[in-house]
Structure 1
Amino acid sequence: MSGATSGITSATANPLLETWTAPFGLPPFDRIKPEHYRPAFEAALERNRAEIDAIANDPAEPTFENTVDALERSGDLLDRVGGVFWNLAGAHTNPELQGIEREMSPKLAKHFSDIAMNAALFGRVDALFGRIDDLDLDDEQRRVLELTHKRFVRAGAKLQGPARERLAAIVERLAALGTQFSQNVLADEAGYKLVLETDADKAGLPDWLLDAARRAGDEGGHPGQAVITLSRSSIEPFLQFSTNRALREKAFEAWTHRGQMGGETDNRAIVAETLRLRAERARLLGYPTFAAYKLDNTMAKTPGAVQDLLDRVWAPAKLRAAEERDDLAEAARAEGANIEIGPHDWRHYAAKVRKAKHDLDEAELKPYFQLERMIEAAFDTATRLFGVRFTERPDLPVYHPDVRAWEVTDADGEHVAVFLGDYFARPSKRSGAWMSSYRGQRKLGGEVRPIIVNVMNFSKGGEGQPSLLSFDDARTLFHEFGHGLHGMLSDVVYPSIAGTSVSRDFVEFPSQLYEHWLMQPAVLRRFARHAETGEPMPEALLARVLAARNFNQGFATVEYTSSALVDLAFHSLENADDIDPIAFEAGVLQRLGMPPAMVMRHRTPHFAHVFSGDGYSSGYYSYLWSEVLDADGFAAFEEAGDIFSPGVAERLKTFVYSAGGKQDPAEAYRAFRGRDPDVQALLRKRGFLGDPNAQAPAGDA
């Protein structure tokens, strides 16, 4: 439940509990210290408990206003404190914050579990739900009541006695395990440094990568030395360019064994316990497996539907990957390397094959993908589609010197949102890329506009030098900005359905759809300009980029789909007692016939999507499910003959970007597209049906 900044004062001068006077109600980041969080959380929890007690024990008959509206209004202070803490715990943490995170995760899980299992409170919600047709609700209110009731039931509100107590204990323990899992992965990533000491260590590496590695060395305790880290923007180009095969293998081993390095940061026991508890949780709630429980609340509905989608993609992806592997082996032989292609070789030789087939290499492309220009491209696309404009505001408070802030306004100049961009890798930030919010949107009780953040892990340019992105980096930026727009454009009454509060396999649709505009010639001609000369990308190079859009798609699809299949297999177990996660992972991959030259995109011990909390557990397939929608959805613009078609864009904004969870996602898609999605669009997009105009795959997954 999202809330506005409220007029709170505190004699203890805790900035988290005071009225925030910065423009747009932004947090006073410069005044917030680690010691402020515990008392702020305690005050917020106490207030929320009082709010819930008042609703549950209201002597008046339950009405929508005194029960559902009241629930939606509650938790304002807790949202405010948590909005700051959890964002910083991911984007700019330290040992003190990590200690608070370990302490607060189970406490908060228990708090929300207590609310969900409050018998008096559920009794009021259940009574309203039982006479929903007689309440004279509008469509949004009806949807909120249906979702609220379902949320209570799925959280165990109907359980009694020992089962209720056991479920509460499981939820609390799972929160602690998820936090520890995430912190262990961050520790392994921050602790690993491959120091490049000799010329042989640096063989094949371009100057821009060595420059970035030296900056990583300066920042990581190795001044003057080049250091490769486990940040994707560091390790992936190293694997691509390094001609030192033994060192590539060493680095790849470290990258794929995050969370499996032994010692205190090893996640194998955490994964095993998590799987046991999730299976038990599902049984308590009446589901045969955890996958059945989680998917019951999604577009897919059942594990069988997910398995069917993944199977349809897996077979053609493996065939394509086998062809790609043969091309890589041929490239290696042409250089005199009579080797069997291994996982640590794939990116290296794929770059050579791409160069041979499409005359493209990363060193040639990167100068055309400046971070600054890609930000402009993402903003301009939003302006042309939805009429919003972005004005940088260096006067707004931010939590790190690298973070930038923009005010977002509509076509009439009215305030829409605040957007924060946090683009560069640092040891205090977990890996990956994501969108989050410091404050969500709502209209209940007065208009509240959102504060949205995009967090990335790009390599920072040197002093006075532009930061250059790979094409994958640029696609990640567009992907996360698509999520950001989903939060910024939200226009609903109730906070529980605002922005990205939609089913897990629909939430990736707006973000993956937005990636399509990056690959449009009109966008690239305008924004892909050389960092030194300012000249646009030459037409011949642009044509080669477009021709190569489906290069290496067998690899990308197998790498991703294998992760989704292992996730689904883990959570389709009726009983996960005595499980060895690594052996189970290996068994699933063997049954699938996983190509030996490839590994999962996210191996189990560092699979944060699935084990740092249960957000994507049983749901990693969601990127592929949403890709069916985004491939078919972008075709609506192509059919209109204008990638910025005002009519199509208006429907997209109305039924998707601004609608939050007001509608069932299948209904929302039909309202936008006029029909159900065409599954074949996904295979065409990935180039598995021979369509020469197929698009590149979905981004940050």
Structure 2
Amino acid sequence: MLAASTLGLSACALLPTDMASNTNPLLSPSTLDYQYPHFDRIRAEHFLPAFESAASAHLAEVEAIATQDTASTFDNTIVALERSGQDLMRTAYVFFGLVGAHTNDTLNEVQTTVAPQMAAHQDKILLNPQLFARIDAIYQSRDTLDLNPEQRRLVERYHQNFVRAGARLSEDEKTRISAINERLSSLVTKFGQNVLKERNDSTVFVSDVDQLAGYSTAEIESAAQIASDAGHDGEYAIKLLNTSSQPALKVLTHRPTRDKVMQASLARGLRDNDYNNQALILEIVRLRAERAQLMGHPNHAAYVLEDSTAQTTQAVNDLLTQLAPKAVANARAEAADLQTLIDAEMGAFMLSAADWPFYAEKLRQQRYAFDESQMRPYLELDRVLHDGVFYMAQALYGLSFKPRKDLPVYHPDVSVWEVFNADDSALGLFLFDPYARDSKRGGAWMNAYVPQNHLLKAKPVVGNHLNITKPPAGEPVLLTFDEVTTLFHEFGHALHGLFSDVSYPMFSGTSVPRDFVEFPSQVHEMWAVWPDILQRYARHYETGEPMPQALVERFLAAKKFNQGYATTEYLAASLLDQAWHQLGPDEIPSDVAQFEKAALKRAGILLDTVPTRYRSAYFSHIFAGGYSAGYYSYIWSEVLDAETVEWFKAHDGLKRINGDWFRENLLSRGGSMDAMELFELFRGRAPRIEPLLEKRGLNAK
């Protein structure tokens, strides 16, 4: 997700005035409700001229602020900067939303062009000495100014952002920083585009339906349709997700097919083709390390973590190394149990990474009489959304939702909902984009198309984007419980954006430290299994009968099953992220795969049967997204999440008084207060790790 404070573009050569005129829908405020984007008018060819015109106008605004004759004040400098660049922000929010959700070759070309220009433009602002002098003067006198707490924090954040960007460096150092930023923006753009193209190119095709044994009839029909659409008539396709392990591995009984899927997944980004990411990774890591040293830090991780709730690499390393041995011990015990199961079936093979999901599911069924596939008929998408997610929002926060079919969408699968508070006042708009497609990046995420803030009188427009496989026409959309949990999780992000109640764009919604942003969304996962909510949405798609209580109980009993595996694969990715980003510029290896293996072995978390959730070559979070040196954030946030779940349970759970307290004291504040101060304001004390250990079943090891 893009925060307003991180957007920027360079002044490109302007097109003639008539080509950057009012005919471009991006260069004027939307006439639709909530400033909702004119997706019906916006075309790919509008973006480049909009970026060029808006960037030039933004720089002119900033130059006027920096060179004005009057002494710097909060209003004529800080507030003026917050008001500046509105055309640029509008263009960028829509563009990057589409690049993630529904890209094409033209948008990819625009992104390749614009990415380095964005970096250069931002540096022209953040490294402007006249502008920094004005901000520094306000910062130095902040104790004598009549500022409310949010205004004071805004001054401090502006000052910090400029200093961290290099405002105090020499001119030669600033020139080098700008060159690094511009190059990095091109490299990470290329990495992300490669991951998407390689994922599509790595689809596994099989010619014999027997190789899909374990698939349902609907899944086989879908596989045949996907293969046909790809020009492989008479074959069947297994599309890959971004993660190392793949959902198909849970159900496919044909071992060679499982192995084929696993190998295709793990080879992405390292194959000898146009999408090989090895050289990109090495240059990205080297440039990030060099930039960190210019900023006075030993490595990129130290630079990133300074502006997080963790603050230091030592704090992150301590958490990860505290959890890793417990997770690995559990994973080894789980592996031994799976091998026993294989041996009992007279299997003449040792457990592999391709086998683990399949045999884990079999063992789960044996121990808990629980087959995850039994749940899917009770988890139909529309019912989960309406009677699960929306009901939770109504019961906890008093919200209601009205479909807005009059508003245009960028793809037919997208729906739009107007959201209202309990007093029927309008809150914002929510876009829902559930299905996977070749034009969409992997994973699940929330982003803002219009961020809330009072300064610009903007109400929030936010979207949730998932990658659920769309069944053939006429077939129900039946979810796994993991997909249900993801839906509740991402809606937690959406609520963080919708509930934003801040004055300034910089603090809107999810504009909080990276290791805090996942916390509110993880809290909302709890409601997926809350009894009153579960019994409402978990109903058979044909009969409407509720999920049998015995199945619910078996499912809940099995929730801690296989947590050694789940925690190990996640921690391996987190440790790998830190290993890359705690390198100095003179410590960069020459071989990505060898470094990866050595780093995991050194951390004591290298298990052949448990691949890291993301291998380096398709680790988009850290090499193409905003999580560099920050993938630990999920487990860091889960400490806060586990504490918060404990608080809700102690206060009788699904009650308006609890939701209102959480909304008022945390969800609505955005980045307008220090993140840990927000948590302590809500919880009443600092967090403890014990609830997390209990949640993940790691406290007994």
For the superposition of Structure 1 and Structure 2, which TM-score range results when normalised by the shorter chain?
over 0.9
Give 2:414's aligned residue. Answer: 403
1:320 and 2:351 are equivalent in the alignment: no
Distance 1:384 1:64, change over 3 A: same
| Inter-partner Cα distance in structure 2 for 1:475 and 1:379 | 14
Q: Which amino acid aligns with 1:592?
A: A
Mapping of 1:387-426 within 5 angstroms?
Answer: 387-426=398-437
1:483 and 2:493 are equivalent in the alignment: yes
Give 1:697's aligned residue. Answer: none
What's the offset of the Cα at 1:362?
2.8
TM-score (norm 2): 0.95
What's the offset of the Cα at 1:646?
3.1
8 A contact 2:430–2:462 mirrored in 1: yes
Mean alpha-carbon deviation: is it higher for 669-678 or for 216-225? Answer: 216-225
| Inter-partner Cα distance in structure 1 for 2:141 and 2:612 | 49
Give 1:65's aligned residue. Answer: 75
For these two proteins, the number of residue pairs brought into alignment is 684
8 A contact 1:195–1:225 mirrored in 2: yes
Give 1:439's aligned residue. Answer: 450
Give 2:311's aligned residue. Answer: 301
8 A contact 1:2–1:439 mirrored in 2: no
Deviations 1:641-673 (A, max 9, x none): x21233332221012211101111110000000
What's the offset of the Cα at 1:16?
1.8
Give 2:214's aligned residue. Answer: 204
Mean alpha-carbon deviation: is it higher for 378-387 or for 621-630? Answer: 378-387
| Inter-partner Cα distance in structure 1 for 2:370 and 2:229 | 32
SS class of match (1:201): helix
Deviations 1:392-433 (A, max 9, x none): 111111100001100011111111111001100000001111
1:672 and 2:644 are equivalent in the alignment: no
Give 1:80's aligned residue. Answer: 90
Give 1:623's aligned residue. Answer: 634
Mapping of 1:57-456 within 5 angstroms?
Answer: 57-223=67-233, 225-231=235-241, 236-376=246-386, 377-445=388-456, 447-456=457-466
8 A contact 2:20–2:49 mirrored in 1: no
**Equivalent of 1:604, from 616, 620, 625?**
616
Mean alpha-carbon deviation: is it higher for 17-26 or for 294-303? Answer: 17-26
8 A contact 2:488–2:528 mirrored in 1: yes
Q: Which amino acid aligns with 2:612?
A: M
What's the offset of the Cα at 1:684?
0.7
SS class of match (2:463): strand
1:592 and 2:603 are equivalent in the alignment: yes
What's the offset of the Cα at 1:12?
5.7
SS class of match (1:480): helix
Deviations 1:274-308 (A, max 9, x none): 00000000000001111110000001000000011
Distance 1:630 1:19, change over 3 A: closer
Identity value in percent: 43
Give 2:10's aligned residue. Answer: none
What's the offset of the Cα at 1:567?
0.7
Mapping of 1:458-537 within 5 angstroms?
Answer: 458-537=468-547
8 A contact 2:228–2:234 mirrored in 1: yes
Give 1:633's aligned residue. Answer: 644
SS class of match (2:439): coil
| Inter-partner Cα distance in structure 2 for 1:414 and 1:512 | 27
8 A contact 1:213–1:234 mirrored in 2: no
**Equivalent of 2:556, from 533, 546, 565?**
546
SS class of match (1:574): coil
8 A contact 1:2–1:75 mirrored in 2: no
| Inter-partner Cα distance in structure 2 for 1:498 and 1:433 | 21
Q: Which amino acid aligns with 2:392?
A: T
8 A contact 2:199–2:242 mirrored in 1: no
| Inter-partner Cα distance in structure 2 for 1:232 and 1:280 | 29
| Inter-partner Cα distance in structure 1 for 2:285 and 2:317 | 19
Distance 1:579 1:296, change over 3 A: farther
| Inter-partner Cα distance in structure 1 for 2:466 and 2:321 | 31
SS class of match (1:420): strand
| Inter-partner Cα distance in structure 2 for 1:144 and 1:9 | 37
| Inter-partner Cα distance in structure 1 for 2:245 and 2:684 | 44
TM-score (norm 1): 0.95
Structure 2 unmatched ranges of 5 or more: 6-17
| Inter-partner Cα distance in structure 1 for 2:480 and 2:390 | 19
What's the offset of the Cα at 1:350?
0.7
What's the offset of the Cα at 1:241?
1.2
Give 2:14's aligned residue. Answer: none
8 A contact 1:233–1:458 mirrored in 2: no
| Inter-partner Cα distance in structure 2 for 1:179 and 1:2 | 19
8 A contact 2:391–2:533 mirrored in 1: no
Deviations 1:60-98 (A, max 9, x none): 100000111011111111010111111111110111110
8 A contact 1:530–1:536 mirrored in 2: yes
8 A contact 2:293–2:299 mirrored in 1: yes
Distance 1:424 1:364, change over 3 A: same
8 A contact 2:207–2:234 mirrored in 1: no
Deviations 1:614-659 (A, max 9, x none): x11111000000000000011111111x212333322210122111
SS class of match (2:25): coil
8 A contact 2:246–2:262 mirrored in 1: no
Give 1:694's aligned residue. Answer: none
Deviations 1:461-483 (A, max 9, x none): 32222211111111111111111
8 A contact 1:233–1:459 mirrored in 2: no
What's the offset of the Cα at 1:2?
4.6
Deviations 1:563-587 (A, max 9, x none): 1011111111123445432211110
| Inter-partner Cα distance in structure 2 for 1:358 and 1:558 | 23
8 A contact 1:110–1:168 mirrored in 2: yes
Give 1:698's aligned residue. Answer: none
8 A contact 1:633–1:677 mirrored in 2: no
8 A contact 1:521–1:542 mirrored in 2: no
Give 1:696's aligned residue. Answer: none
What's the offset of the Cα at 1:11?
3.9
SS class of match (1:344): coil
8 A contact 1:410–1:416 mirrored in 2: yes
What's the offset of the Cα at 1:592?
2.7
Mean alpha-carbon deviation: is it higher for 428-437 or for 204-213? Answer: 204-213
Distance 1:26 1:526, change over 3 A: same
SS class of match (2:552): helix
